[in-house]
Amino acid sequence: MAIGTVQEFEGFDTEIYDAVCQKVNFPDDWPDGLLYHAAGPAESGGMRITDQWQSAEQFQRFMETKIQPAVQEVFSERGTEPAGPPKTTIFEIHSTAHTHA
């Protein structure tokens, strides 16, 4: 079952997001099961990331094996700690649509 995810990372900015992406070689090494990805600044000052995945298991595996270690490494290199885990919403996808414009 396809899922959508919305994550809000406190204490992140585009520089930290880009550093984490570089650590996991994203988007060149596209994660298994990821169908769509968008990221941008959140109103809170952190980063908001919206994804579509083929399954919740693929999302969880990517977060645990790639993203969490990369986040820790990036913050460690900066001599700081992450503000905590992202606020994460996971939902079953009922429908998707896009324009070809």
Is-above-0.75 flag for pTM? yes
Strands 87-92 and 47-53: unpaired
The CATH architecture of the domain made up of 3-92 is 2-Layer Sandwich (3.30)
Question: Is 45 within 8 Å of 9 (Cβ atoms)?
Answer: no
Query: Which residues lie below 8 Å from residue 76, measured CB to CB, with a gap of 6+?
Result: none
- 38 pLDDT above the threshold of 90: yes
- For the segment 64-90, what is each residue's pLDDT rounded down to a tens digit? 999 999 999 999 999 999 888 999 999
Mean pLDDT of the residues in the chain: 95
Phi, psi dihedrals of residue 37, rounded to the nearest 5°: -145, 135
pLDDT of residue 48: 97
